[in-house]
Structure 1
């Protein structure tokens, strides 16, 4: 038991992350801490050293000595946040396979909900600064255990690999290699940016691996059921809203509940849009389901051109949809303010929690529905559609 505790404390040590950062060219300037200093959590997100010196979470001055790793790891971390999802999920639906895209989103939502909930239950802080250099401010006030970036780095590529292998002939060497590169790039980026301890990363990877075993086949079955069930929109709306309401919240505000609302809204929107396509007869299931008959060929120049046009049109529509929804909510804010309702939290300088979660949920619910339902119809009207899209009811 003592050895296990020592191992856990070692993997939690922020000095380990700081050494990783220095190896890849992140150098802290001034007030450098000795590696022998032991950091233990104190109150209010502070860290206390073995010399009883209390240190705030402060990035301090730093210098990047290797730009290659800097840009590579920033790219890696974007693959695991909403910027990456906003690019990858629509691209997959429009250009590869919408049925696999729906299942991928379902797995993503389940894994992220569990990971985010555990974060707010355990409430372990992120690695202390110093000695770590915090290169990203976005999630600094969130808790760190487990790393949901690490969870998604496993969940997304390997669930997609499973679903694709059931429908198409693929080169497993290339597919597994790409999945591993994806996973390694995202996980190492979290250490490089100073956002997680090594223990956070390992816990995220292990938890996601365990969750994939039951949830990958469950998501496949659930997607097939939801596409043909009469009351699917109501079930999705009720379930996702209930999950948001029961989401664990602590005394200290963190953005995890808002991010979880965003994720659940996306999942409900994608699946509702898919249900509409099937219910209206736009998508059917008349396709060869034997993987030996579904070859994956490299796209021709014409195919690449169509992908570029199709994607460019789609992303432009998504951007317009976001702007429209944002404008509508600005009007709602004005109306609520005139009615005497408080819409902003002066301490946090943002919407009050109820409005923040509601706006995020509805925004991504509506835009996700546009992504899978409206945009493919527009692509068809402009004759840039992917023909196999209409045979992907399941």
Structure 2
């Protein structure tokens, strides 16, 4: 009988990732054997006879050092056969197995790319504004107050545990950006579990609808995100189980108190000393890893979104614009999806998200210049910026500013244009 640690080691095995990738149509090729067998031509391409594929079939690859950073030693490509990069993780002898891959099932690949996008910055930029502008801002704040502390803790664990991303025989099919951080636990599965199940529990309190249908949707959502992380080679099975388990343990008690916490953070005059200052300090004093990774900056993005959306609601309330309206004591029928709702939701979403996207591009450059000037650092000196941790103030000013625009500025503009949702300024209260 396997011991607990044997089970842990088994679930952490990269072979399971590779097996799932092969099951989903990913073919891999060992380029070390190709090089040793002199089947690599002068341009660095794989001989098509060795790979048993013709020159029109595309092979991709990924690179990883032991510290999680990208290598510049790319194998050049020619005749449609692309680079087979190093994909090992930690090897004391300095040798890393060289793998190339080919995707045979594009439909499955795109499905899992979509699953991975459910935990991306673009998803946050669209999903949370849509919920605030078109559905229920109070419900969205509840969700944010559960989401961002869980994500902070998950990101913190990554840099504390320091387990690398999967390596050979698995390959990484996602952008190199995500290779620059550790893998345990999977924060994608944290958000992929937290958001659907928080929505399920909270909406079932407020509205009448078939609970079993919502449960099925939540389970499929979580399963899609978890499988996408394994398929893309970003996490082991154990990483995903850990992310789901962490969320499952925390959700019950967080859901039990979130309504009261949100109410105090919106209505108490001194709430920002807790709701804003503590999250900001948590990012400033986030443990600095020996080797720079994207984790600290991404954590600042996440925390600033949650804290600044709540701060915006507090500001609306303190200005007297937001009126306290107690929730119904019993669940209400789901509001009908009318043509007017779809029409105005579409306008608010397209106009609002477009404005947020443009604002992000512009303000990022402005705030980067401002922060670097204050710190006495050149804007092109990336190494020094990382050493000083300047990504934290830049992210808070940029992404936090977008959150304030979403929950404070945009509704003012929508009201001026006559397209604001009627109930927006009445969504506070126990």
Do both proteins adopt the same fold according to a TM-score greater than 0.5, normalized to the shorter chain? yes
The root-mean-square deviation of aligned C-alpha atoms, in Å, is 2.4
Q: Is the 8 A contact 1:344 1:351 kept in 2?
A: no
Post-superposition offset of 1:282: 2.0
Q: 1:257 to 1:48 in 2, by over 3 A?
A: closer
1:324 shift after superposition: 3.8
1:269 aligned residue: 308
Answer with 1 or 2: which has the greater Rg: 2
Q: Residue 169 of structure 1 contacts residue 291 of structure 1 at CA under 8 Å; is this kept in 2?
A: no
Deviations 1:19-54 (CA, angstroms, capped at 9, x unpaired): 000111111133499xxxxxxxx96565468xx975
Partner of 1:24: 24
The aligned counterpart of 2:224 is 185
Is the 1:73–1:185 Cα contact (8 Å) retained in structure 2?
Answer: yes
SS for the counterpart of 2:207 is coil
- Check whether the contact 1:154–1:205 (CA below 8 A) recurs between aligned residues: yes
Conserved? CA contact 2:198–2:255, under 8 Å? yes
Task: Sort the Cα spacing of 1:353 and 1:22 in 2 relative to 1 into closer, same or farther, 3 A.
Answer: farther
> What is the alpha-carbon distance in structure 2 between the residues aligned to residue 208 and residue 110 of structure 1?
11
Q: Deviations over 1:164-191 (max 9, x none)?
A: 1222222212211211111111111001
Instruction: Tell me which residue corresponds to 1:39.
Output: none
Unmatched 5+ residue regions in structure 1? 34-41
Q: 2:371, 2:390 within 8 Å by CA — same for their partners in 1?
A: no
Residues 232-267 of structure 1 deviation map (CA, whole Å, 9 limit, x = unaligned): 233333201221233223312111111111111111
Measured in 1, the distance between the counterparts of 2:274 and 2:396 equals 16
1:32–1:131 Cα contact (<8 Å) kept: no
Given the alignment of the two structures, is residue 377 of structure 1 paired with residue 416 of structure 2, yes or no?
no
* 1:222 aligned onto 2:261: yes
- Contact (CA 8 Å) 1:47, 1:55: kept in 2 or not? no
Unaligned runs of 5+ in 2: 34-64, 69-87
Residue of structure 1 in register with 2:38 after alignment: none
Are 2:424 and 1:389 aligned? yes
Distance 1:23 1:61 in 2: 17
- Go from structure 1 to structure 2 and tell me whether the alpha carbon gap of 1:4 and 1:299 turns closer, same or farther (over 3 Å shift): same
CA distance in 2, matches of 1:305, 1:333: 40
Relative to 1, partners in 2 of residues 1:141 and 1:323: Cα closer, same or farther, differing over 3 Å? closer
Structure 1 stretch displaced more, 199-208 or 171-180 = 171-180
2:324 is matched with 285
Which of the residues 146, 153, 164 maps onto 2:192?
153
Pairing 1:245-260 to 2, within 5 Å after superposition: 245-260=284-299
Q: Is the 8 A contact 2:372 2:379 kept in 1?
A: no
Structure 1 match to 2:395: 360
Shift of 1:149: 0.8
Q: Secondary structure at the match of 1:187?
A: helix
Tell me, yes or no, if the aligned pair for 1:165 and 1:291 is still in contact at 8 Å.
no
Contact between 1:317 and 1:375, CA under 8 Å: does it hold in 2? Answer: no
User: Using the alignment, how far apart are the partners of 1:391 and 1:246 within structure 2?
Assistant: 36
The residue number in structure 1 matching 2:344 is: 306
1:316 aligns with 2:354: yes
Q: TM-score, normalised by structure 1?
A: 0.89
- More contact order relative to length (CA 8 Å, sep ≥ 6): 1
Distance 2:96 2:334 in 1: 53
**Of 275, 278, 290, which residue of structure 2 is paired with 1:239?**
278
User: Which residue of structure 2 lines up, in the alignment, with residue 206 of structure 1?
Assistant: 245
Q: CA 1:281–1:170 in 2, change beyond 3 Å: closer, same or farther? A: farther
TM-score, L = length of structure 2: 0.82
